[in-house]
Amino acid sequence: MSAFDDLMAFQRQTEALAQVAGRLGWDQETVMPEGSAGQRAEEIGALEGVLHARRTDPRIAGWLEAAQATDAVGQAQLRQIRRSFTRTMKVPAKLAEEIATTMSLAQGVWAECRAREDVAGFLPTLRKVVELKRAEGAALAAGGDPYDALVDDYEPGMTGAAIAAMFDAMRPRLVALREKVLGAAAPKGVVGTFGTEAQLALSRELATVFGYDWSRGRVDLAVHPFSSGSGHDVRITTRVSETDPFNCFYSTIHEVGHAAYEQGIDPSFALTPIGQGVSMGVHESQSRSYENQLGRSGAFTGWLFGRMREVFGEFGIADAEGFYKAVNRVHPGYIRTEADEVHYNLHIMMRFDLERALIRGDLQAEDLEAAWNERFRADFGVAVDRPSNGMLQDVHWSCGLFGYFPTYTLGNVYAGCLVKALRAEIPGLDGMMAQGDVSAATGWLRERLQRHGGLYEPRDVVRRACGFEPSEGPLLDYLEAKFGAIYGV
């Protein structure tokens, strides 16, 4: 066996074990018995220990030194392995261990403090997490910008400066759009009670419509919807609110977007380093394309309106046009995860500036609440009423996920580019979607982007799919055209 073959065989077992660890996480959020939490923590800890030992195995350095790739796929495999091995080796073992222990406890502290609206109680934990992530960022950056190093974990090749430039270009147009829309009359929402079983049946139908492969996946209920796994086992979760059916339907379509990406990757890449989505931003570009650009389009909501009337009868909306407006209602609110397409990116920009300042040491943890509230008032025009609607609302910072937030907006930006490109190539798309057929769009995304997995770098795979350089322009054009028409502004 060559060094390349040895390395790939070793890596394949690591990838398989990582999938097992992920499935334990899925189990914990869906069907695990309540009394099993303690034992599960030990099981996951043991598996993580095995994974860490494999990822830092000294033989990897030698294999990487000697391995020769004979084609582009092999080169991409080596690039991914080298990136992750170099990253792991840059962080001192003691720091890595302290980060793992602190983050596992911090999430529990955050949840308790959020429930009690207790910022002061969370501050010592936040201070510790920021300190550790700054240390990790510094170790990874080796003299460069620690925040860039943290961003690179989720979006290889992206930097804080590039994100800041993109956000600066977006903010004025989003703020102007937001003000125009909020000055116009708000459309009517749906009214009534929508039974759980009927919602779940229709959400399964939506998953099928958007190309979810049920032979390699399943849908369960969880508090927070997510997608889990790669290759031939990609599961999703959804949730149900009996007064807000869009919550279930659009959570499902969103997670199907993530899952379809994983299921759409070239099967020969399964259980290899390039056998999963290439970055968080590209992943989010799929979920946002499915959920917003396609799922909330006038053509598709026309079909969904018909199906909902068949299933639920009357629910206070007269016609497909009113339904399209209800699905796309713009409403100012405190919570990012409930934000509409006009507000969503403003939430992200605010978090990006604050977390970058925290990591750079320009903002201290004890000043975060004031900074958050001041910025929220400036960007959203209202005062935050309580911490769970403010700086305690997201789990990310307690888990040490600094550098993650901007990938959500990057996903929206990439989705804007991808759907612009696919619409130009599929002229009859709206006619098909009005019949509940989105296969031309999802097929295009699979062929142009999803199947490549980690073969190309994130920005590169989007550029190749679109045939033009990705930028924020198409997303902003789309938002202005769509919401300008809905609100007549």
Q: Which residues are catalytic?
A: 255
Assess contact for 88 and 56: CB atoms under 8 A: yes
Q: Match 């995860």 to its residue by tokens.
A: 337
Candidate segments 175-183, 267-275, 280-288, 396-404, binder of Zn ion by CB under 5 A: 280-288
Work out how close the CB of 31 gets to Zn ion at its nearest, in angstroms, rounded to a whole number. 22
Question: Is 287 or 388 the residue whose CB approaches Zn ion more closely?
Answer: 287
Nearer to Zn ion, 125 or 287 (CB): 287
Between 187 and 229, name the residue whose CB sits nearer to Zn ion.
Answer: 229
Residues 195-234 as b/e (b if ≥16 CB within 10 A, e otherwise) read eeeebbebbebbbebbbbbeeebebeebeebbbbbbbebb
Q: Which stretch, 31-39, 142-150, 286-294, 425-433, contacts Zn ion (CB under 5 A)?
A: 286-294
Query: Which range touches Zn ion (CB under 5 A), out of 65-73, 197-205, 285-293, 356-364?
Result: 285-293
CB of 282 to Zn ion, least distance (A): 11
287 touches Zn ion (CB under 5 A): yes
In whole angstroms, give the CA distance from residue 266 to residue 278: 13
Distance between CA atoms of 442 and 211, rounded to whole angstroms? Answer: 7
The residue range among 96-104, 228-236, 281-289, 324-332 that interacts with Zn ion, by the rule CB under 5 A, is 281-289
For residues 50-69, one letter each, b for 16 or more C-beta atoms within 10 angstroms of the residue's C-beta and e for the rest, the string is eeeebbeeeebeebbeebee
Check binding of 199 to Zn ion (CB under 5 A): no
Q: What angle do CA 430, 409, 400 make, to 5 degrees?
A: 140
If one asks whether residue 227 binds Zn ion (CB under 5 A), the answer comes out as: no
Q: Which stretch binds Zn ion (CB under 5 A): 2-10, 16-24, 72-80, 283-291?
A: 283-291
CB of 303 to Zn ion, least distance (A): 23
CB of 411 to Zn ion, least distance (A): 7
Q: What is the distance between the alpha carbons of residues 371 and 68, in angstroms, rounded to a whole number?
A: 51
Output the smallest distance, CB 259 to Zn ion, in A: 11
Ramachandran region of residue 403, left (φ > 0), alpha (ψ -120 to 50) or beta? left
Measured from the CB atom, the residue of 158 and 359 that comes closer to Zn ion is 158
Considering the complex, state which of residue 137 and residue 295 has its C-beta at the smaller distance from Zn ion. Answer: 295
The residue whose Cβ lies closest to Zn ion is 287
Token pair in block for residue 388: 């769970």
Q: 275 vs 411, which CB is nearer to Zn ion?
A: 411
Residue with Cβ nearer Zn ion (287 or 293):
287
Q: Smallest distance from the beta carbon of 291 to Zn ion, in angstroms?
A: 8
Q: In what order do the strands lie in the sheet with 235-238?
A: 219-221, 235-238, 227-228
Site stretch for Zn ion (CB under 5 A), options 66-74, 284-292, 329-337, 440-448: 284-292
Q: At closest approach, how far in Å is the CB of 320 from Zn ion?
A: 27
Residue 292 touches Zn ion, criterion: CB under 5 A: no
CB of 78 to Zn ion, least distance (A): 29
Letter string b/e over residues 388-423, b meaning 16 or more CB atoms within 10 A of that residue's CB: bebbbbbebbbebbbbbbbbbbbbbbbbbbbbbbbb
Structure tokens at 95: 């720091």
d(CA 281, CA 39): 34
Number of residues that bind Zn ion (CB under 5 A): 1
| Binding-site ranges for Zn ion (CB under 5 A) | 287
